[in-house]
Structure 1
Amino acid sequence: MAQVEVYLIRAFSIAGQGGNLAGVVLNADPLTEPQRQFIAQQVGVSETAFVSKSDKADFQVSFYTPTVEVDFCGHATLSTFWLLHHFQSIAAGKYRQETKAGVLDVDVALNGDILMSQSLPTWFDEFSAQEIAPLLGIAPSLILQTGLPIQAISTGLIDLMVPVPYGVLDCLEVDHEAITRFCQQHQYVGFHVFEMNLQESAYTASCRNFAPAVGIPEESATGSSSGALVCYLNRHFGYQQAIFEQGRAMEVSSRLVTQLTIDKEELTQVQVGGEGAFDRVCYISI
């Protein structure tokens, strides 16, 4: 029986506190897919990243929730490259990771902060407030009040963007079973619910992410969804950068920085970033 070392990192933390825990397993080449899934289940955080060698990029990274493998995970990517830099395995600079969502760029700043590229947005169906509001325990009129559409978008994973008015986000009564059925029916990962903040706020929007269909009732920082959301805000308000708060309702606040590169009116790059912090190490027997 072998023991696998799993590093737990707080991705998108604020001064070393809060953030979203991700597991990172380095030198994961010998591990089989069932072993990776077992490790992710035992670790029990929303995603665990497994870092292997790649012939297409600097690293190959796979991502597992406690129940399934997913194509991409933003906060686990940040955790992976923050840890590699923390161990001085990589210097500050530009890197590429091979994922099931494609080969993606990652920038490591001198201070260890990570800015990662995501896939360019793919836009999917829109849905009515009457269909979605009951799943969140709110009246459809509240969503309609925002004047914004409910739309599924992917910059690596498909999430449903759901706008609510300022002050409503912390009052949701989420029906996890109904969201699971909806996401399984449409092959989405989860719901990314957001409220635009007041102009004087340090955050453009505050967010909550629900992905019970992949074993995550609620997540305190979701990098892939933040990339999708800044694309959504660019389309409707012209934003090219935004700072998001997530995890407040869980009392694990996180800060996510997003940036779009637009060249000759064409979107060419989506980036999401933030800081990481070491939490602890655990050992899983396989």
Structure 2
Amino acid sequence: MTSGTLHRLSAFTTDPNGGNPAGVWIGEALPEPDTMQRIAAEVGFSETAFVAPSVGANRTVRYFSPEAEVSFCGHATIATGVVLGEENGEGTYQLSTSVGLVSVTVNQRDGIYEASLTSVEPEDMPASSALVHEALSALRWTQADLDYSVLPAKAYAGAWHLILAVVEADRLTNLDYDFEALKALMLQENLTTLQLIWRESPDVFHARNPFPVGGIVEDPATGAAAAALGGYLRSAKLVAAPTTILIHQGEAMGRPSRLVVSIPSEGGIVVTGQAVRI
């Protein structure tokens, strides 16, 4: 078996009890896929990143949830950046993922490492009425719950997500969905999470992210979905780029998370967060 070191961190927080836990495995060569899957299941976090080699200009990264490989994971990338910063110093690291090259810039701020990932080029498309109808049914929501100033959309910045905005914050607070029905729909539509959002102000959002395809009820901080949302907001002209938005996530789970999303006029979306050891 390929040897490596497993690190456990919580991303998008400075509190080990907040944020989204991630595993970061670093070695000289990646293990076999079935070994990575087994390790991710044993770790039990929503994702574990596998990184090799431990030093070098470009590192290959693969991401696994407890149940399946994931094309790209933001919070595990932030955690990876922090580990690389701790072990190799501040700077920019190039990560070769299955969806393309993702750069991660790492800095130390007040004794805590902060990482900023730049996503691959985002894209989006309108969500079909059939998809929205089935998603609402699985969520036990109605059309009246939706805020149509942010139209339902499928959005991508390394992984596909369904964006649904709600009118009232309470709709997000009381989230109780049909796990198996939503999982089946998401597998059919190649969705990684649902990005359920409430827009508190022009640049402040609250999000919840069901993740049944990963065997997880909910993700407390989802960097890939944050990047996808940033790209969609720019594409739909719902923000005036360049701009920065803040996403609060994980509050209802008791794991508060802060995701800072910088939306340039063009190109990849920048998602910034801190991460601490668990």
Q: Answer yes or no: same fold by TM over 0.5.
A: yes
Question: Quick check: 1:60–1:98 contact (8 Å CA) kept in 2?
Answer: yes
Question: Quick check: 1:57–1:103 contact (8 Å CA) kept in 2?
Answer: no
Whole-Å separation in 2 of the counterparts to 1:14 and 1:164: 29
* 1:100 partnered with 2:101: no
Alignment correspondent of 1:27:
27
How many Å apart are 1:261 and its aligned residue? 1.8
Q: How does 1:202-281 map to 2 (within 5 A)?
A: 204-234=204-234, 235-239=236-240, 240-262=243-265, 267-279=266-278
Match of 1:109 among 104, 107, 110: 107
Whole-Å separation in 2 of the counterparts to 1:52 and 1:273: 23
Distance 1:270 1:3, change over 3 A: closer
Question: Quick check: 1:97–1:104 contact (8 Å CA) kept in 2?
Answer: yes
Whole-Å separation in 1 of the counterparts to 2:28 and 2:208: 31
Question: Quick check: 2:261–2:271 contact (8 Å CA) kept in 1?
Answer: yes
Alignment correspondent of 1:283:
none
Q: How does 1:18-57 map to 2 (within 5 A)?
A: 18-27=18-27, 29=29, 31-53=31-53, 57=57
1:176-209 C-alpha deviation (Å, 9 max, x unpaired): 111111111112212110000146xxx7100000
Q: How does 1:163-182 map to 2 (within 5 A)?
A: 163-167=165-169, 168-182=171-185
Whole-Å separation in 2 of the counterparts to 1:96 and 1:25: 16
Instruction: Give the TM-score, by structure 2 length.
Output: 0.89
Alignment correspondent of 2:196:
193
Distance 1:164 1:50, change over 3 A: same
How many Å apart are 1:233 and its aligned residue? 2.3
**C-alpha root-mean-square deviation of aligned residues, in Å?**
2.2
How many Å apart are 1:135 and its aligned residue? 1.8
User: Partner of 1:49: helix, strand, or coil?
Assistant: strand
Q: Give the partner amino acid of 1:272.
A: V
Alignment correspondent of 1:284:
none
Alignment correspondent of 1:70:
70
Alignment correspondent of 2:88:
90
Whole-Å separation in 1 of the counterparts to 2:260 and 2:276: 16
How many Å apart are 1:79 and its aligned residue? 0.6
- How many pairs are equivalent? 269
Question: Quick check: 1:92–1:110 contact (8 Å CA) kept in 2?
Answer: yes
1:125-147 C-alpha deviation (Å, 9 max, x unpaired): 4133544322212221121x443
1:161-182 C-alpha deviation (Å, 9 max, x unpaired): 1111132211232111111111
For structure 2, which runs of at least 5 residues remain unmatched after alignment? none
Query: How many percent identity over aligned positions?
Result: 28
Q: Give the partner amino acid of 2:92.
A: K
Q: Give the partner amino acid of 1:122.
A: E
Q: Give the partner amino acid of 1:243.
A: L
Q: Give the partner amino acid of 1:58.
A: N
Q: Give the partner amino acid of 1:212.
A: P
Question: Quick check: 1:59–1:97 contact (8 Å CA) kept in 2?
Answer: yes
Query: Bigger CA drift: 89-98 or 46-55?
Result: 46-55
How many Å apart are 1:57 and its aligned residue? 4.7
Whole-Å separation in 2 of the counterparts to 1:85 and 1:2: 23
Whole-Å separation in 2 of the counterparts to 1:73 and 1:40: 13
Whole-Å separation in 1 of the counterparts to 2:108 and 2:245: 22
Whole-Å separation in 2 of the counterparts to 1:149 and 1:193: 12
Alignment correspondent of 1:122:
123
Question: Quick check: 2:9–2:79 contact (8 Å CA) kept in 1?
Answer: yes
